[in-house]
Amino acid sequence: MSAILCTSAMHFSSLCPHEPKYRDASGHLMAKTVQLFRKNLSRPFNKQNCEALMGTALLVNYISWFDLDFLHGQTKLDLSKDQLFFLTPGIIELWFRSMPIFIDQGSILADVARHSPRFHIEQALVSWGHDPERFVGLLMDIWDDPRYQGESGPLKSDEPTSCAWRLLLGMENQIPHASPKSPLAEESCEEDTHNQSLTHLKEVITDVTDKFTSPTHPAASMVLSSQSDRSVFETLLHRISPLLCCASLVSGPMRCDMTSISADIEELFFGVPVLCSGPIARWISDGDSRILVLLCHFYRGAQILLSKERNWWGYTRSCVMERLILDELKSRGLNVDLLI
């Protein structure tokens, strides 16, 4: 209930920014929500509470998107306290624990797990004659540019986001992202096919949870050893590039209509920070210039593609953070020309 009230107070705050009562209420409720959420996550997990916990987790992500209180009192941009990137990895661990239960119960949340907004966006872009990976090479040039490189140590297995990172790697290893460049396949409506798909998903999730929760399991060790920082950055770019491609088409001279995939665009923007665990979270915490450039493009894309009214939870953050990140990069002598 605290999460629902907090989200409502934040929405009212966005509608009435000059009314301090909504801002004050949301601040109080946010602290209570996070405290209760963490407390409940530490309790035994079962089919009676898993839907409520996952629903709360999704609301916490909305709350984290809207919350900019970590900026108060800062004279230099410090993202290490931004809970959007450091609280939400818990959603990944919760997802892996709850999804087998959702599948057994026939929960609507099980169907949500089968939906890939990134894939749908990529398919649409390909059908329109555009390359959804166009920004990957452009932004990898930033990674390879010595001016943007800094010192970065290895990821420690006991860092708060490391377990979520291993689980994500395990899932990607078991179910690689499908190529959007193949012909559009019709989705089967057959109940048996649907159930088989969910059964397979449950088996994969259970297997990944068993093998990748611990960093010392041979399967986890093998996958982790194959990951370089450069490949991690490139994987993140593959996730974000379709959004940047859409933003460039909307802001370009042709003004491409994105109505048919607007829900997928919104869902992918909402979910990207949840995936920023492991090395990515470390780069964000350290203020790595390369990840700051990528975040700047991400937030610029959100301003272009998200509705100020419908997507109130993300629009203000995107405007504020783009400006602050550009200022921080400029203070480092890095004048970035955004590609969108």
The model's confidence at residue 184, banded by pLDDT at 50, 70 and 90, is: very low
* pLDDT confidence of residue 248: 96
Q: Tell me the average pLDDT across 224-234.
A: 91
9, 29 Cβ separation under 8 angstroms: yes
Average pLDDT on 266-278 reads: 93
Q: How far is CA 64 from the centre of its chain?
A: 11
Q: State residue 190's pLDDT score.
A: 53
Environment class of 9 (CB within 10 Å of its CB; exposed 0-12, middle 13-18, buried 19+): buried
pLDDT given for residue 157 in this prediction: 54
Question: Where is average pLDDT lowest: 157-166, 189-198, 266-275?
Answer: 189-198
pLDDT digits (tens, 9 = 90+) for 122-174: 999 999 999 999 999 999 999 999 999 876 655 565 567 888 999 999 999 99
Q: For position 220, what pLDDT does the model report?
A: 87
Q: Hey, which of 9-13, 86-90, 148-152, 218-222 has the most confident mean pLDDT?
A: 9-13
Mean pLDDT, all residues of the chain: 89
Structure tokens at 156: 């420690």
Angle at 275 between CA 9 and CA 150, to 5 degrees: 110
Please spell the DSSP secondary structure of 120-184, one letter per residue: HHHHHHHHTT--TTHHHHHHHHHHH-GGG----PPPPTTSTTHHHHHHHHHHHHHSPPPPTTSPP
